[in-house]
Structure 1
Amino acid sequence: MTGKFFRYTTVLAAAVMFASCSDKDYQVPQPKTELQNDAIKRSIGPNMAGLRMEFAYAMAIPAGKGKIVSAQVEASIAGAPATFLEHRSFYTNGSGADIGVVVGDPSENKGNTTSVTFTKDTMAATLRYYYVPADEARGKEVSFKFTARASNGETVSYDLGPYKIANMEMKLDIALADNGAKYISIADMAAYNQADAALHADKIDLVYLHRSIPNITFGHALVAPAADPQYLPGITLPAGVNRDAKLMKTWNLRDQQLARLSQGVFIDDVDFQKLTFGDVADYTLNLAKEYGVWVETADGKYRAYIFINAANSNKTAVISIKRYTMK
């Protein structure tokens, strides 16, 4: 930066080695004199279309050798428009917080390439790169080539990948209400009210309801329309809403992308592929916050995992869904 350079830190290590009771000569390694770079993937969990993949790209050139003039990332598959390369260089302060300092103009996307032109006198920088897979990347692999250029004409590159983009899809924070949007479509990953459900009757897989029944533990429930009517008390189904489904309730499976909690647990494509339902019920009762429900639609086209983000006393709930297309 003008008037303030990022500087290399050379760590000197003294080593004493003994052989036949005599010291061996040790030479301090010489620092490199050329432009250098490194890159890592910071985000964890399955890579999904529409969900950011985060990388850190570091580059540096020794003092007196020039300055960095540009950085770019070329993806093997063009990212969605939300893809960008930070024009701020990040460092971590004494409190552990990431601090960004502007080093160039905002990035520009051209085809598969995202680039930043430096506007500050900079000899070292670490930029964040956020790649958002587009729908056409679903089920494919993507690789990245990071490149930095210096004012002395040097160019250096670093390759990362390939990374598989999952086939599954995700929808967060779908609001449910016993007296409102309670008809759930796995195909649409949406919830409809009574009137709208009739317009999407062939896609309704589940009904959300909440009941307080003496001597019965019912509470928050997800029930297939074709289930025994005793599990749908007080429900008059819209015309044509009659599909069945297989459901399995689980606890302590807090997928981080659905729950957005600290647990490093992730559901991926392979979990849906290997899942075995067998002879299971078409209803699940007494759901609570942070419970989960595995679902398979009657036609076997979709498998889904529904996470309960909230289960409220006013007969409402919030769910998030991961869905995998089986056929």
Structure 2
Amino acid sequence: MKLKHIYQLPGFLLLLIFAVACEDDAYEVPQAKREFQNDCIKRSLGPNLVNNRLEFAYAMALPKDMGKIVSAQVEASIPGVVEPVITNGTFLEHRAYSTDGGGNDKAVQVADPSSTEGNLTKVTLTRDTFAVTLRYFYKIPQEAKGQKVTFTFSATDSNGRTVSMKMGPYTISAMDMVLDSTVTDNTEMYISIADMATYTAAQAAAIPDKIDLVYLYRALVQQPAPAPALTFKHALVAPAADPVYLPGVTLPAGVNKDTKIIKTLNLRDQQLARLQYGIFIDDLDFEKLDTSTATNFAINLKGEAGVWVETADRQYRAYVYINAVNDGSKNMRISIKRLKMF
């Protein structure tokens, strides 16, 4: 019993020392620096795709008695896309935002709308401001595909002092993406991965070498004995697949590609699905894709499922995400990510 209490004594002393140390190190609010400061974070997530936007939050501040902020600007190493409607392209916000109790953004205008010329986007503040955070949106141009882009954020105060911060480099994906195409049985049922487009039979007949997938809807197909009944419903099938997987389909002349297909469940890429899932397919996923066990058909497809695809010439790999299916109208809404392999 004595030994037991002796072994407990060091632990008690450590707790006592820790308690005393905590009392000595009372927390104090840090003193604000007497200087013009800035900081920046990247808000957007996932692969950086052409025609999508990178989003940043740029914060600037100086002590109130040292002047006010008069301007801010961002210089991109590759000019971003500029749209006629400013907020659709590359721009620097002229409003500051706060969030209310419901999580909604509340805007206060602090500057004139931004202007973008070449690499440079800038705003001039119109209110007396000594601390503000502005959002910057960069719409990725085609010229940046597969390249790296950097950004230099800077601000100027009323005394001519400047601060700056460099962000990046950020790699721009080599992938392409198309959202919300509709394929319909017996009408627009032919899909080209090369074109990222859907076609009717008449249109497919003019470009047979570009057709990689056929969409069809069949409620139920009974195979000859002893094969079991197959539930088709919504299906994506290679033109070269066994005709049993293309019941009632007469392919246009020359449409004969043997596309590799891998059916996948629960891979809800956020950029394709635009749902809450934090999953992103990037270039590396396509580069590492193993198609050794692929078939050339996928039947009974459902909403929020998808298929990996490799074209017959192996030039393209793609992920076709199924946003929604409709049994009544016999169609699917799909979104596609694609990478050109060579």
Global fold match (TM > 0.5) = yes
> Which residue of 2 is the match for residue 303 of structure 1?
317
* 1:73 paired to 2:74: yes
Q: 2:250 aligns with which of 212, 236, 239?
A: 236
Q: Is the 1:202–1:243 Cα contact (8 Å) retained in structure 2?
A: yes
1:106 matched to 2:121? The reply is no
Alpha-carbon distance change, 181 to 25 in structure 1, aligned in 2, over 3 angstroms:
closer
3-state SS, counterpart of residue 202 of structure 1 = helix
Q: What residue is the counterpart of 1:209 in the other structure? A: 216
User: Is 1:167 matched up with 2:174?
Assistant: yes
| Alpha-carbon distance in 2 for matches of 1:222, 1:318 | 12
Q: How far apart are residue 225 of structure 1 and its match?
A: 0.8
SS in 2 for 1:216: coil
Contact 1:210 1:221 in 2 (8 A): yes
Larger helix proportion of the pair: 2
Q: What displacement does 1:24 show?
A: 8.1
List per-residue Cα deviations over 1:216-267 (Å, max 9, x = no partner).
Answer: 2111000111111111111111122111100000101100000111010000
> What corresponds to 2:91 in structure 1?
84
1-structure distance, mates of 2:267, 2:315: 23
CA shift in 2, pair 1:263/1:23, >3 Å? closer
SS for the counterpart of 2:45 is coil
Distance 1:23 1:269, change over 3 A: closer
Which of 284, 296, 300 aligns to 2:298? It is: 284
User: CA shift at 1:34, angstroms?
Assistant: 1.7
The aligned runs of 1:185-196 (5 Å cut-off) are 185-196=192-203
1:250 partner amino acid = T
In structure 1, the partner of 2:165 is 158
Change (3 A) 1:39 1:23: closer
Question: CA shift at 1:26, angstroms?
Answer: 9.2
| One-letter amino acid matched to 2:157 | A
SS at match of 1:198: helix
2:232 matched residue in structure 1 = 218
Q: 1:22 to 1:286 in 2, by over 3 A?
A: closer
Aligned equivalent of 2:331: 316
Distance 1:261 1:73 in 2: 31
Aligned to 1:176: 183
Change (3 A) 1:26 1:234: closer
Distance 1:26 1:294 in 2: 55
- For residue 23 of structure 1, report the CA deviation from its aligned partner: 5.4
Letter in 2 for 1:58: A
- 1:279 & 1:167 partners in 2: Cα distance? 26
Number of aligned residue pairs: give it.
Answer: 311
- Cα 1:173–1:27 change in 2 (3 A) is closer
| Equivalent residue runs for 1:259-274 within 5 Å | 259-274=273-288
- In the superposition, the TM-score normalised over structure 2's length comes to 0.87
Identity across aligned pairs (percent)? 60
Question: Would you say the 8 A contact 1:17–1:24 is kept in 2?
Answer: no
Q: Contact 1:70–1:116 (CA<8 Å) still a contact in 2?
A: yes
Rate the CA distance shift 1:118–1:280 in 2: closer, same or farther, 3 A: same
Instruction: Detail structure 1 runs of 4+ shifted over 6 Å in the superposition.
Output: 24-28
Instruction: Write the deviation string for residues 86-121 of structure 1: whole angstroms up to 9, x where unpaired.
Output: 111112223322211111111111111111111112
Return the letter of the residue paired with 1:77: I
Q: What amino acid is the match of 1:291?
A: A
Which of residues 121, 124, 140 is equivalent to 1:117? Answer: 124
**Cα distance in 2 between the residues matched to 1:101 and 1:297:** 51
Q: 1:28 to 1:259 in 2, by over 3 A?
A: closer
**Equivalent position SS for 1:64:** helix
1:326 aligns with 2:327: no
> Contact 1:91–1:126 at 8 Å: present in 2 too?
no
Please give the secondary structure, in 1, of the residue aligned with 2:272.
helix
**Partner Cα distance (1:320, 1:129) in 2:** 27
1:243-258 alignment, distance < 5 Å: 243-258=257-272
C-alpha root-mean-square deviation of aligned residues, in Å?
2.0
| Partner in structure 2 of residue 4 of structure 1 | none
Amino acid at match of 2:254: G
**Paired amino acid for 2:248:** G
Residue ranges of structure 1 left out of the alignment (5+ in a row): 1-15
Highest Rg: 1 or 2? 2
Corresponding position of 2:34: 33
C-alpha separation between the residues in 2 aligned to 1:302 and 1:110? 36
- Structure (1 or 2) with the greater strand fraction: 1
**Which whole-Å deviations, capped at 9, do the CAs of 1:110-156 have from their partners, x for residues lacking one?**
11111111111211111110111111111111111110111111100
**Structure 2 CA distance for aligned equivalents of residues 78 and 172 of structure 1:** 25
Deviation at 1:66, TM superposition (A): 1.2
Q: Secondary structure at 1:40's aligned position in 2?
A: strand
Report the counterpart of residue 206 of structure 2 in structure 1.
Answer: 199
User: Which segments of 5 or more consecutive residues in structure 2 lack a partner in the other structure?
Assistant: 1-17, 83-88, 223-228
